[in-house]
């Protein structure tokens, strides 16, 4: 994803409800923005019925999200 300055690969393990995806990322060019490695981009992904509701509920519970809002990710799914 040149626009995001990210070189990524996805490793899939298991199937169905036991399936897990591990997304490995590194900057394409460490000198350009966005600098996904400064600070290190650490995140988890969860499947939810409504990302908007999930973000609202977690925000109310004190979870802090990175700026940018909800947008499409590499796999064309919404993420925050």
pLDDT in tens, 17-31: 888 888 787 888 888
CA distances from 9 to 25, 52, 53, 60, 74 (A): 7, 26, 29, 33, 10
pTM value > 0.85: no
pLDDT given for residue 7 in this prediction? 84
Q: Does 61 lie in the same domain as 79? A: yes
Q: Which residue has the tokens 């908007």?
A: 52
Give the pLDDT mean for 22-45.
75
Number of independent structural domains in the chain? 2
Q: Does 38 lie in the same domain as 3? A: yes
Q: Does 63 lie in the same domain as 80? A: yes
40, 28 in Cβ contact below 8 A? no
Per the structure, the complete domain to which residue 13 belongs is given by 1-42
């Amino acid at each position: 994803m040149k626009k995001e300055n990210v070189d990524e690969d996805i490793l899939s393990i298991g199937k169905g409800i036991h399936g897990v995806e591990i997304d490995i990322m590194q900057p394409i060019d460490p000198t350009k923005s966005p600098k996904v490695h400064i600070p290190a981009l650490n995140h988890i992904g969860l499947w939810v019925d409504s990302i908007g509701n999930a973000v609202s509920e977690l925000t109310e519970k004190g979870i802090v999200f990175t700026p940018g809002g909800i947008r499409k990710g590499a796999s064309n799914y919404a993420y925050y």
